[in-house]
Structure 1
Amino acid sequence: MSTLRTSRPALALLMGAAVAAQTLAGIPSAGAETTPVTVTVNTRAALAVASDTAVGTNHAIWDSNLGTNETADLLKAAGVKMLRYPGGSYADIYHWKTHTAPGGYVAPNTDFDTFIRGAQRTGAQPIVIANYGTGTAEEAADWVKYANVTKGYGVKYWEIGNENYGNGHYGADWEADDHTDKTPAEYARNVVKYSDAMKAVDPTVKIGAVLTSPANWPDGIVADGDQATWNDTVLSIAASKIDFVILHWYPPHTDVADVLTKTAHIPDMIYMVKQQIAKHAGARAGDIGIAMTEINSGIAYNTQPAALFAADAYAALMEQGLFTIDWWNVHNGIGTVSTVAGHTDYGDFGMLSSAGCTGDVCEPPFNTPFAPYHAISMVSAFAHPGDQFVRAATDEPLVAAHAVRRPNGDLAVLLVNRDPDSERQVKIGYAGFAPADEAPTVSSLTNGATSVTTGHGGTATTQTLPPYSVTTLVLHPAAAATGAPAAPGQPTVSGVTDRTATISWPAAAPGAAPVAKYEIHRQNGAVTEQLGETSVTSYVVHNLVPGTRYTVNVIARDTAGRVSWASAPLTFTTGSPAESSCSVRLTDTTDWGSGFVGNVEITNTGTAALDGWTLGFTWPTTWQSVSSGWSANWAQSGRSVTVTSTPDNRRLASGAATSIGFVGAYSGPNVLPTAFTLNGTVCTTR
């Protein structure tokens, strides 16, 4: 059933089909390069640890092969550890007891028990979507009872509905919802009911609530009658009753080249979600996980660009600590056929061929892996459960890098060459790791390849990346690290001001010698800057920049000079001065998902009058800008915005205020600035 709906908005489907119908040449080549690309890998800049369920995909009840041994074995070979059921928007019309989905097609051999048998053969955990749209909390609780009490399947993760913001409340209505009240508040109230009912049956289950992904519709929009956005409303009501939040991501794009740049949005996207969780969950924010239960490039679905996107996106999301990333989906069906980077793309969202035909064009034999399957396989081989991601960066936008450090001391590096025409020479430098003087194990997926090749080649510091390729290296250390102290525990922060913060951490267990000191390192890309050191387990960092996001790690060093692994990362943002001669309040008054109206209120809190003023601030990202402004003179250079007074508001008496406004545009997560200067003085931000 290739025409069955996925769980994407109808508008996005039409856009994707229109773009896919074109013959796509891929990213424009930058031409042959003689200067090697510099890759930096820094093991002292630690990120998240890879989850044991990170690599996942979706099954759907229109796929009669979801439980076959052949399908399960292919998914197992790809390292898939999470399987989602019963399939996107179908979840909100599916009734598990009768195995029916009124208004949709249910294929034979797709019932819950068949799905579980396939998941068990795959070696994957199931994640199940309870029917919110046309179901009840009691129906969901009965499903938990059947799964975990009657059958003993141990299904841990349960989502409450699928993309329920698509129920018409914001204008688009692809998602079934029989509730009279379709607001986010009603959804949240029902999440609480579902959670209570399901946990009454099995207190060990984990309940997930649907959120919107930052900068993806309808994120940022406040619908008529609502007081806040979907995310703020849902979390304000349901945060105490959930264990994880659910994101879906089909990046808006204009073409193949554009979609491959969207992975740069991931750190800010997840940062914003974590900030939203922290705002509403308080002390238990750290107990609420993040799951990306649907992801797809939405273009060039079966060819190499989708593979490049998959490898880069999975690694980037795992770096941010997501416990599962689930490709949409295993089998989906042929769509609009096009040519991408010299190869036939079947417009099929599936990882594996459905062997369908359109006109005189047919897909390859059933279950033939498409390019994203191979890329996801490479991610599984690159980052094993328990591996710690570390910072990796390049000086070339067309080359992406990721790295993990393994418990046995090995280092793995994943490199993505997004140039469709030119190979890239890379020169790799390491901080905190000395590679052995031997050829590393190298795996590669090239454009049009039907499998991943693995061998030995190049060196630990020099490699050649074929055009449009994914490459992984596995490196052994030059010498086994013995006797080093263990990594310090998870750092926490307190007393954050505009200029200082107190960082504390659990002590590191000593190795062969006592711990002599701890070093606090700030991440700046793949380069670290030591902020200080101490012999105790707390340190006050000074000379910080107001309104700035910091990510730090702590490292232990013993009396013999041996160095521990880096602690888990800590991210915090400095504030503004408690007292200043000026104050600023920025308010997002109206948002439409790609832009907003911002109101800025400036107050002279000093004792002297101002006769002329200049306001300054810097956008946190490169994809934010001022489109137009009023009541002041607005100018932007790079990310820096300068605003000057007009004759009407240039004079501000002590205690006086003025309001100015602008239209802001954004094409990625809209992280608002929190630091402002007035005539060079840092203001208090209200």
Structure 2
Amino acid sequence: MPSAIVHRIARGALLLGGAALLSAVPPSVSASAATTPVAVTVNAPAGLAVVPGAALGVNDAVWDAQLGTTAVSDLLDAAGVQMIRYPGGSYADIYHWRDNTAPGGYVAPDTDFDTFMASVQRIGAEPMIIANYGTGTPEEAAGWVRYARDKDYPARFWTIGNENYGNGHYGSAWEADDHADKSPAAYAQGVVDYAEAMRAADPDIKIGAVLTMPGNWPDGLVAEGDAGTWNQEVLTRAGAAIDFVDVHWYPAETTAAATLAKTGQLDDAMHLLREQIDRYAGPHADRIKISMTETNVDVGRNTQPGALFLADTYSELLENGVFTVHWWNVHNGMGEVSTVAGQTDYADYGMLSSGNCQSDGTVCEPPLNTPFPAYRALGMMSSFVRPGDQLIGAGADDPLVAAHAARRPDGDLAVLLINRDPDRERSVTLDYRGWTPGSGTPTVATLGNGDTAVHTATAGTATAQTLPPYSLTLLTVHPATAPTGAPHAPGQPTATAVTDHAATFTWAAAGAGGHPIAKYEVYRNDGGVSEQLGETPGTSFTAGNLRPGTRYTVTVVARDAAGRASWSSPPLTFTTGTPATSACTVRLTDTNDWGNGFVGSIDITNNDGEALPGWTLAFTWPTPWQSVDSGWNATWAQSGRTVRVTGTGLGADQTVTVGFVGSYSGPNVLPAAFTLNGTVCTTG
């Protein structure tokens, strides 16, 4: 059973088991490296997503007696919570809203839908409601929608079920499901039926379907009798009926250091998920949004790792266009107590203390509703990402420092810096690209290891800061020149005529500010690094000298006759192809996948008129967590991320098939470009 499933089965009870270990700086990080200033780049031309109105979310559960209390509502309001999910994870698939019951589970008094909605409205947040797929019916869900409409509740977002791939179809069963057919095809048909019934009650609601997170079980698995993976089947059959997809992410790591490093996989995971939506969901798939309604950690939930993970994960997901991210949970209960980075950790999934004790009474949590560090990190996030801000690229040259940045409508920049080193502070220098900071001392908010509150002061400069060990630091920097009269942002570019080496980008014109638009600048972006591909007075540009089979992210900035630059356009991400014709053709197929490994089959065709007495096929894994374990029908070798496959005797117009067993510990992004004896091949 995958380790990620173990704690998912446990969730839903107030008392949870778990383990927490003291993390250490990876051995590769030396003491001298920790004293070298970290270079952080904040890259204004590298525009990312605009912060939505429901970005910051949490989960509430009907077994939580504190749900809806004024004390909790006030705390969530103070943290800036914008969306709350109900009625609580796996409980959603046994919960019946009319009588506020969950057969086989516990429902606390005063946790009914009306109480929940009163709390949501007191906070000023928006609800995310889970309709009971496992033991409910479309008619029951439609009645819930109708009731919410008749009460004039602002209930727009409805997900059909929770983690329904955990219904036993793939061998692990923690999610209730009374349907005889538990396949993804049956769930997809259920989504269609629920959506039809629920929209008949209120045509303005948004319907979400449950998908698996790329790189997490059961992603990649195809069960007996299925035509594809869970995501492929659900999107193909129900894509036209949904408005968003919902995923969960719990990195199953045994150390805090490994857990915090996992956030580096989110860009690729979201890329794969978006790619699946676009490939399988049919026409107008680009309208389908993504929500992440559960995330948390196995190590350091109530200590600083939980806070650092929350800030980094929320930031990464929002940068990738996820419209809401939710922490599991408001309250949850004590698990196995340990010490993490010198602080007591109660292994409690809640961001507020449940105030309970171990069975022998020897160890108790802090008083009820005492905030844990994750709560304080959420409060810092509400100061960092405000609705309407544009997130922009940022990066650091130290793997233990993460950087995120947001551009505000008033011209300010907010920069969030995360020091993942539990033992050493970091001196940081900040370099701003496409934006000039003013000379004043910035306002700096800091949450350090063991802090019981966020500390705010004016400190350092816009270009130099010191990050305490295991800390979150948020600085707000004013621009050197007010942005009055600057042009508006151009529209999101689209790509046409994409080949192995070129692409043409087109975008909607920017609105002029105080002066006419003089030109548009086109940038290729990679986090904190940008390369200007060119500029043009028009709204179309063709870029050449691109690499085959490579993922690119492109943005456009308008500049007016006075030299003032606009905000960046929304980003475009695309992948170049391979040559239309070549002396070789390669076809890679994932023939059998088990969630952390797969069997790959590669067909290599010699299109040349002459035989090859010896040949070498080469490709590069897109990520550092992929590798070849073994191979056959050729000699296989891997150095770094580059794989070389050598063989003999490939005749003219002949095809040879080679195979391998590959491993991966994150999103499995397959290579898109191959060379044979140095020639770039066409991919079939």
Calculate the TM-score normalised by the size of structure 1: 0.96
3-state SS of 1:274 partner: helix
User: Distance between the aligned counterparts of 2:466 and 2:572, measured in 1?
Assistant: 35
Alignment of 1:181-220 (within 5 A): 181-220=181-220
**1:178-577 pair list within 5 angstroms:** 178-358=178-358, 359=360, 360-577=362-579
Range moving further from structure 2, 557-566 or 157-166: 557-566
Question: C-alpha distance in 2, partners of 1:524/1:233?
Answer: 33
Q: Which amino acid aligns with 1:375?
A: A
Q: Check conservation: 2:16, 2:334, Cα contact below 8 A.
A: no
The residue aligned with 1:3 is none
Distance 1:87 1:19, change over 3 A: closer
After TM superposition, the structure 1 stretch with the greater mean CA deviation from structure 2, 32-41 or 139-148, is 32-41
User: After superposition, what is the alpha-carbon deviation per residue over 1:587-629, rounded to whole angstroms, capped at 9, x for unaligned?
Assistant: 0011111111100010111222211111011111111111111
Quickly say closer, same or farther: Cα 1:312–1:404, change in 2 above 3 A. Answer: same
* TM-aligned CA distance change 1:583 to 1:232, over 3 Å: same
8 Å Cα contact 2:523/2:555 also seen in 1:
yes
Task: Quote the Cα distance in structure 1 between the aligned partners of 2:525 and 2:49.
Answer: 14
Task: State the shift of 1:562 in Å.
Answer: 2.0
Do the aligned residues in 2 keep the contact of 1:26 with 1:340 (CA within 8 Å)?
no
CA contact (8 A) 1:208 1:243 kept: yes
Q: Secondary structure of 1:585's partner? A: strand
SS at match of 1:260: helix
Hey, what's the Cα distance between the residues in 2 that align with 1:364 and 1:19?
18
Contact 1:19–1:299 (CA<8 Å) still a contact in 2? no
Contact 2:355 2:367 in 1 (8 A): yes
Deviation sequence 1:485-532 (CA, Å, 0-9, x none): 211111111221111111100001112222121111000331111112
- In the alignment, structure 1 residue 53 sits paired with structure 2 residue 54: yes
Looking at structure 1, the residues matched to 4 and 492 of structure 2 have their Cα atoms a distance apart, in angstroms, of 37
| Mapped partners of 2:244, 2:79: distance in 1 | 25
Aligned to 2:664: 666
Residues 641-672 of structure 1 show CA distances to partners (whole Å, capped at 9, x for unaligned) of 11100xxxx22222210000111111110000
AA paired with 1:609? A
Q: Which amino acid aligns with 1:170?
A: Y
Measured in 2, the distance between the counterparts of 1:197 and 1:116 equals 22
Shift of 1:216: 0.6
Q: CA deviation at 1:8?
A: 6.8
Shift of 1:35: 1.4
Name the SS of the counterpart of 2:421 in structure 1: coil
Q: Which amino acid aligns with 1:491?
A: P
Task: Find 1:615's aligned residue among 584, 592, 617.
Answer: 617
The correspondence of residues 52-71 of structure 1 with structure 2, limited to 5 A, is: 52-71=53-72
Q: 1:59 to 1:11 in 2, by over 3 A?
A: closer
C-alpha distance in 2, partners of 1:162/1:283?
Answer: 26
8 Å CA contact 2:17–2:347 kept in 1: the answer is no
Structure 1 equivalent of residue 22 of structure 2: 24
- Name the structure 2 match of 1:146: 147
Moved more, 18-27 or 66-75: 18-27
Give secondary structure in 2 for the equivalent of 1:361: coil
Give the whole-Å Cα distance in 1 for the aligned partners of 2:342 and 2:573. 43
Cα distance in structure 1, aligned partners of 2:471 and 2:601: 46
In 2: Cα distance, 1:367 partner to 1:12 partner: 23
Residue 114, structure 1, aligned to residue 127, structure 2: no
> Would you say the 8 A contact 1:30–1:419 is kept in 2?
no
Change beyond 3 A, Cα 1:459–1:11: closer
Counterpart amino acid of residue 624 in structure 2? T
* CA deviations over 1:156-214 (Å, ceiling 9, x no partner): 00000000000000000000000000000000011001111111111110000000001
* 1:283 shift after superposition: 4.0
The one-letter amino acid of 2:666's match is G
Match of 2:683 among 657, 682, 685: 685
For structure 1, which runs of at least 5 residues remain unmatched after alignment?
1-6
Letter in 1 for 2:672: T
**Cα separation, 1, equivalents of 2:214 and 2:673:** 21
Matching residue's letter, 1:87: G
| Contact 1:167 1:175 survives alignment (8 Å) | yes
Give the secondary-structure state (helix, strand or coil) at the position aligned to 2:559: strand
Residue number in structure 2 paired with 1:602 = 604
Contact 2:621 2:671 in 1 (8 A): yes
| 1:625 counterpart letter in structure 2 | S
The residue number in structure 1 matching 2:594 is 592
How far off is 1:568 after superposition? Answer: 0.7
> SS of the counterpart of 2:47?
strand
User: Separation in 1 of the partners of 2:36 and 2:17?
Assistant: 34
C-alpha distance in structure 2 between counterparts of 1:332 and 1:312, whole Å: 22
CA distance in 2, matches of 1:8, 1:105: 24
Distance 2:606 2:206 in 1: 50
State the SS of the aligned residue for 2:284: helix
Tell me if structure 2 keeps the 8 A contact 1:598–1:662: yes
Structure 1 residues 237 and 553, CA, compared in 2 at 3 Å: closer, same or farther?
same
> 2:115 is paired with a residue of what secondary structure?
helix
Q: Is the 8 A contact 1:26 1:305 kept in 2?
A: no
Q: Report how many residues are paired.
A: 674
Paired letter, 1:172: S
Q: Is the 8 A contact 1:20 1:338 kept in 2?
A: no
Higher mean C-alpha deviation, range 518-527 or range 378-387: 518-527
Note the C-alpha offset of 1:23.
4.5
Deviation at 1:561, TM superposition (A): 2.0
Aligned pair 1:84/2:85, yes or no?
yes
What residue identity is the alignment partner of 1:187? Y
- Quick check: 1:170 aligned with 2:170? yes
Residues 328 and 27 of structure 1: CA distance in aligned 2, closer, same or farther (over 3 Å):
farther
Residue 19 of structure 1 deviates from its aligned partner by: 9.8
Check conservation: 2:17, 2:336, Cα contact below 8 A: no
Asked if the contact 2:213–2:219 (Cα under 8 Å) also holds between the matched residues in 1, the reply is yes
For 1:26 and 1:121, the matched residues in 2 are separated by: 42
Give how far 1:254 is off: 2.8
Measure how far apart 1:558 and its partner are. 1.9
Aligned counterparts of 2:369 and 2:514: Cα–Cα separation in 1:
53
Distance change in 2, residues 1:112/1:22 (3 Å): closer
Q: Helix, strand or coil: the match of 2:521?
A: strand
Other structure's SS at 1:362 match? coil
Deviation (angstroms), 1:34:
2.6
Q: Per the alignment, do residues 163 and 345 of structure 1 end up closer, same or farther by CA in structure 2, a change over 3 Å counting?
A: same
Distance 1:162 1:218, change over 3 A: same
Does structure 2 retain, via aligned residues, the 8 Å contact 1:443–1:473? yes
Q: 1:8 to 1:481 in 2, by over 3 A?
A: same
Instruction: Provide the secondary structure at the position in 2 that maps to 1:613.
Output: strand
RMSD value, Cα:
1.6
Which residue identity does 2:338 align to in structure 1? S
Q: Which amino acid aligns with 2:371?
A: P
1:204-261 Cα offsets, whole Å, 9 max, x none, are: 1000000000111111111111121000010000011100000100012131110010
Contact 2:40 2:429 (8 Å CA) reproduced: yes
CA contact (8 A) 2:16 2:335 kept: no
Aligned identity (percent) is 61
Distance in 2 between residues matched to 1:30 and 1:392, nearest whole Å: 24
Shift of residue 18, structure 1, vs aligned partner: 11
CA contact (8 A) 1:19 1:254 kept: no
1:22 deviates by 5.3
* Cα separation, 1, equivalents of 2:226 and 2:520: 49
**How does the TM-score come out when normalised to structure 2?**
0.97
Question: What secondary structure is seen at the aligned counterpart in 2 of 1:325?
Answer: strand
Give distance in 1, aligned partners of 2:56 and 2:20.
31
Classify 1:13/1:419 alpha carbon distance in 2 versus 1 (closer, same or farther; 3 Å). farther
Secondary structure at 2:121 match in 1? helix
In structure 1, what is the equivalent of residue 646 of structure 2?
A: 644
Pick which of 165-174 and 299-308 moved more.
299-308
Q: Secondary structure at the match of 2:292?
A: strand
Q: Does the aligned pair in 1 maintain the 2:236–2:282 contact within 8 Å?
A: no
